[in-house]
Structure 1
């Protein structure tokens, strides 16, 4: 197997071979171009992101600055937004659903390193896939660790460190991140009332 094949299959691999270096440098070029754009270049920003990532929806926006390792291992659904200073270390696949919004400095890490110091010193590393469902809000300064899956309709509180899977339909927060409660009918009623108040205020 090639180093890339080992990497994507979540096995130990070495990152410095020719193929991975070429793809790494491609991502560095595209993110450099992206981070140097201005707010008048929204179409160009979208073009760069669609070139960088494996898959995107039509509507996506990431506030510069943004960093990733390869980009080609990131798949994003429709209607995605990430605020400032987002980092995705995508040595394995990162899959993001529809209607996902991130606060500032949300970081997704798929990379891991051996616990044993002798093996770690050989520069061998590994990755674990990350999956984020649809209709997810992630608060600022949240870290999502390797191997984590987050379900649909989830709110993650700011400053969380997500080390284990989070099921659908919950609010979770903390370090480590834990489920606080389910999202329920009272939440829907309250926020629909707030939406109606907003619409009434706009009519006034």
Structure 2
């Protein structure tokens, strides 16, 4: 196994060998072009993102600046939106479902390093996949750590550090992130806390 194959298998690997540096450099050029796009040319955003990201739906939007390592190791579903400063360390596979909304300053970290300093100083690192389901909203300044799966219809509160899986239909918040309650049918009529919609939402 070369180092790229080891990386994709979730095994310890060295990030500067077997063409990985060159792949990251190629991605950085694409990211640079995307992040430097003049405001008058914003209509090019979906097309440029489809050139960076491995698999997308038709409708995709990310506000610059955006950062990732490889791009091809990211998959997003239909109607994907991420706000400013979205960072994805896609050493491990990142799979995101449909209708996902990501607030500013959110980071998805599949990458990690050994705990023991002597092991860490060898240069070995690893990537463990992250999976995010459909209809998920991730609040600002949240961090999703390696190996986490977030279920469908989940809300992650702002400022959360998600180190464990979150089941479907839950609101979870905190550092470490914990489920605080289930989303219910009663929630449908409110747009913010106890404020009810004054417009049809069908």
TM range (shorter): over 0.9
Gaps of at least 5 residues in structure 1 are none
Write the distance in 1 (CA, Å) between the matches of 2:146 and 2:101. 20
Show the 5 A alignment for 1:19-168.
19-168=19-168
Could you tell me how far 1:44 is from its partner in structure 2? 2.1
Matched residue SS, 2:51: helix
Describe the superposition over 1:7-63 as per-residue Cα deviations: whole angstroms up to 9, x where unpaired. 011000000014211210111001100000123223322222101111001111111
- Residue 6 (structure 1) aligned with residue 6 (structure 2): yes
State the number of aligned residues: 198
Specify the alignment match of 1:198 in structure 2: 199
Write the distance in 2 (CA, Å) between the matches of 1:48 and 1:159. 29
Write the distance in 1 (CA, Å) between the matches of 2:102 and 2:187. 20
Describe the superposition over 1:147-185 as per-residue Cα deviations: whole angstroms up to 9, x where unpaired. 000000000100000000000000000000000000012
Could you tell me how far 1:75 is from its partner in structure 2? 0.2
Write the distance in 1 (CA, Å) between the matches of 2:30 and 2:98. 24
Could you tell me how far 1:84 is from its partner in structure 2? 0.6
Write the distance in 2 (CA, Å) between the matches of 1:10 and 1:70. 15
Write the distance in 2 (CA, Å) between the matches of 1:190 and 1:112. 39
Write the distance in 2 (CA, Å) between the matches of 1:29 and 1:194. 46
Could you tell me how far 1:199 is from its partner in structure 2? 4.6
Q: Report the TM-score, using the length of structure 2 for normalisation.
A: 0.94
Matched residue SS, 2:11: coil
Write the distance in 2 (CA, Å) between the matches of 1:9 and 1:45. 31
Q: Report the TM-score, using the length of structure 1 for normalisation.
A: 0.93
Matched residue SS, 1:41: helix
Matched residue SS, 1:75: strand
Could you tell me how far 1:116 is from its partner in structure 2? 1.3
In terms of fraction of residues, the more helix-rich structure is 1
